[in-house]
C-alpha cells in the first residue's frame, strides 16, 4: 500500500497500489458505511483546499463495490506534490471492513468505462506538473521470508541497481481497460516448454496469483510431478523443486517454487498459486506477484511498453529511457491469513528521502466472481481444503459499468527514514520499503509509505 496525504490534512491515508486499475479514491468523511467506520476518512473538515464536485462515480470489484462523488485537492506522495481529481467514497461495501487500506491508488494505463473517474490520473498529473521526468514507474518486489524489506516503486525512471544488463521491452497489447497486457511467447519448465501461442499476460500488482483458463493451467501443472486437481485449484508437493518458466520476447524468466507453492493442505501437499480460472478472454492470463517477484518490471506509458529485467546483485546498464527526475518510495505489500509467500517491502524513487515501512499482517476475505470493466481485480479462487486464499485485484469478464481490482489488506507498524545522497540526475532519491504478509497473495497491497 502507499501512504499519501491530501491537501492540508496531516493524516496519512493508506491506499492500495494497483497497476491494473486506473481510478484513485479514498473513503470520504460523509460515508456512513460500516467499513468507513474502521478506516481513515477524508473531507472538507480535513482540508480547506478540497473542492467537492457534483459528479458521481461507481466501481464494482471482484470483491466489493464503492461509489461516491469526485473531488479535487493536492496529492502528496513522498516528496512529490500534484493536484489530482479523485473519488470521495460515500458508500463502501462490507468487504472493505476486512482490508486495511483507506482507498485505492490506480496506476493502470487508463480506463474508458462509463461511471469511472475520467479525470487525469496520478501518473498524468505527476508528469504534467514536471514532478517526474518521464511517465513511467518501476517495481521491485522482494519476499517477506527473505527478510530484506526492500520492495521498491520507482517513479519517473527505473532503478538500474535492481536488475542486470538491459531491460527487455515489450509493446503492450491495445485494450480499453487500462491493462498492462503483453504477449506471452511460451510457458513451461526448463527443458520442457508447452509450445503455447496466442496468449497474453495482464500484469497486475494487485493480484497474488496467476490465473489462466483451466486447460492452460492443467497443461502447466502436468509438468510438476505429483500434482492433483480439484476444479480450478491444484495441489502440488510442498517439497517440489520444479521451477516454472514464462517466456517473453525471446527471453525466459524463472518462477521459483517458493513463489508458486501456497499453503499446506494435507499429506505433504500444498496449494498451488496458479489457478485454472478464466478471468477475461480465453487466451488472456492474469499474472500477479507470483511472477513479478522474480523480475524488475517497468511500466512505460509514453512508449506503451513494459520492460522486464532479471534481478541480480546490481544493475549494469539502463535501457534507453531514463528520466531526469526520479522518486523512490517503498511500498508495503499486503498481509493475509492464507498460506503462501508474500512480497516484502517495495520502495518508490522520487526526489525525497529514504523511508522504510514494515506492515503487520492483515486478513483478506474470499472474493466472489464479479464482472468488472477495469483492472484485473481479483476473483480469487476457492482454496483447496483447509487453505484460505486472500483476494487479489483481478476482475473477471469486464462489464462497461465497473472497473478495478479487488483489494488486499495490509497495515504498517514501523517506519524508519534516512536521507540519501543525490541521485545521478541531481535529485535526491527516496526509498521506502514495505514488508508483506506471509502470503503469496499480496503484491498489490504493498503499502507505499510516504512520511514528509
Enumerate the active-site residues. 18, 204
> How is residue 208 annotated by DSSP?
S
Helix (H) or strand (E) holding 250: none
**Distance (Å, whole) CA 362 – CA 378:** 17
- How big is the chain, counted in residues? 452
Q: In what order do the strands lie in the sheet with 432-434?
A: 411-418, 354-360, 432-434
C-alpha to C-alpha distances, 428 to 314, 345, 431, nearest whole angstrom: 20, 20, 10
Closest CA to 367 of 346, 345, 347, 383: 383
C-alpha to C-alpha distances, 115 to 28, 112, 374, nearest whole angstrom: 18, 9, 11
Closest CA to 204 of 445, 448, 447, 450: 445
Start-to-end CA distance of the chain, whole Å, equals: 16
Number of helices followed by number of strands (H, E) in the chain: 4, 32
Helix (H) or strand (E) holding 358: strand 354-360
Torsion 37-39-44-45 (CA) sign: positive
**CA dihedral of residues 71, 136, 132, 152 (deg, nearest 10):** 90
**Distance (Å, whole) CA 448 – CA 103:** 12
Contact by Cβ (8 Å): 400, 333:
no
**Distance (Å, whole) CA 351 – CA 327:** 5
> How is residue 419 annotated by DSSP?
P
Provide the β-strand partners of residue 344: 142
Cell 536521507 found at: 419
Closest CA to 381 of 271, 287, 296: 271
Closest CA to 328 of 162, 105, 155, 135: 155
C-alpha to C-alpha distances, 420 to 318, 350, 426, 427, nearest whole angstrom: 20, 11, 12, 10
Helix (H) or strand (E) holding 215: helix 214-221
Amino acid at each position: 500500500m502507499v501512504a499519501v496525504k491530501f491537501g492540508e490534512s496531516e493524516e496519512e491515508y493508506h491506499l492500495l497500489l494497483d497497476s491494473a486499475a486506473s481510478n484513485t479514491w479514498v473513503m470520504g468523511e460523509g460515508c456512513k458505511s460500516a467499513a468507513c467506520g474502521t478506516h481513515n476518512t477524508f473531507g472538507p473538515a480535513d482540508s480547506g483546499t478540497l473542492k467537492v464536485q457534483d459528479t458521481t462515480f461507481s466501481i464494482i470489484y471482484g470483491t466489493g463495490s464503492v461509489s461516491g462523488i469526485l473531488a479535487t485537492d493536492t496529492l502528496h506522495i513522498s516528496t512529490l506534490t500534484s493536484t489530482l481529481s479523485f473519488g470521495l467514497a460515500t458508500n463502501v461495501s462490507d468487504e472493505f471492513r476486512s482490508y486495511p487500506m483507506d482507498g485505492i491508488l490506480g496506476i493502470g494505463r487508463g480506463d474508458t468505462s462509463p461511471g469511472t473517474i475520467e479525470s487525469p490520473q496520478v501518473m498524468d498529473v505527476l508528469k504534467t506538473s514536471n514532478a517526474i521526468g518521464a511517465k513511467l514507474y518501476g517495481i521491485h518486489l522482494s519476499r517477506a521470508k527473505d527478510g530484506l524489506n526492500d520492495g521498491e516503486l520507482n517513479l519517473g525512471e527505473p532503478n538500474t541497481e535492481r536488475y542486470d544488463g538491459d531491460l527487455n521491452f515489450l509493446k503492450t497489447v491495445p485494450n480499453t481497460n487500462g491493462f498492462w497486457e503483453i504477449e506471452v511467447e511460451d510457458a513451461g519448465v526448463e527443458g520442457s516448454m508447452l509450445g503455447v501461442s496466442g496468449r497474453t499476460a495482464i500484469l497486475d500488482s494487485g493480484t497474488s496469483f496467476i490465473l489462466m483458463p483451466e486447460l492452460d493451467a492443467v497443461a502447466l501443472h502436468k509438468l510438476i510431478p505429483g500434482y492433483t486437481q480439484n476444479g480450478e485449484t491444484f495441489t502440488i508437493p510442498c517439497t517440489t523443486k520444479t521451477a516454472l518458466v514464462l517466456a517473453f520476447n525471446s527471453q525466459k524468466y524463472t518462477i521459483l517454487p517458493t513463489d508458486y507453492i501456497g499453503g499446506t493442505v494435507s499429506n505433504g501437499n500444498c496449494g498451488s498459486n496458479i489457478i485454472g480460472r478464466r478471468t477475461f478472454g480465453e487466451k488472456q492470463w492474469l499474472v500477479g506477484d507470483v511472477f513479478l517477484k522474480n523480475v524488475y518490471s517497468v511500466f512505460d506509458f509514453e512508449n506503451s511498453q513494459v520492460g522486464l529485467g532479471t534481478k541480480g546483485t546490481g544493475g549494469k546498464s539502463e535501457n534507453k529511457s531514463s528520466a531526469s527526475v526520479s522518486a523512490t518510495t517503498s511500498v508495503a505489500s499486503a498481509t493475509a491469513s492464507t498460506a503462501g509467500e508474500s512480497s516484502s517491502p517495495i520502495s518508490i524513487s522520487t526526489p525525497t528521502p529514504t523511508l522504510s515501512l514494515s506492515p503487520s499482517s492483515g486478513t483478506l476475505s474470499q472474493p466472489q466472481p464479479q464482472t468488472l470493466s477495469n483492472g484485473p481485480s481479483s476473483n480469487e479462487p476457492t482454496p483447496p481444503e483447509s487453505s484460505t486464499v486472500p483476494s487479489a485485484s483481478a476482475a473477471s469478464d469486464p462489464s462497461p459499468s465497473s472497473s478495478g481490482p479487488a483489494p488486499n489488506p495490509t497495515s504498517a507498524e514501523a517506519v524508519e527514514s534516512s536521507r540519501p545522497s543525490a541521485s545521478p540526475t541531481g535529485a535526491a532519491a527516496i526509498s521506502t520499503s514495505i514488508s508483506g504478509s506471509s502470503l503469496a497473495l499480496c503484491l498489490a497491497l504493498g503499502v507505499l509509505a510516504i512520511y514528509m
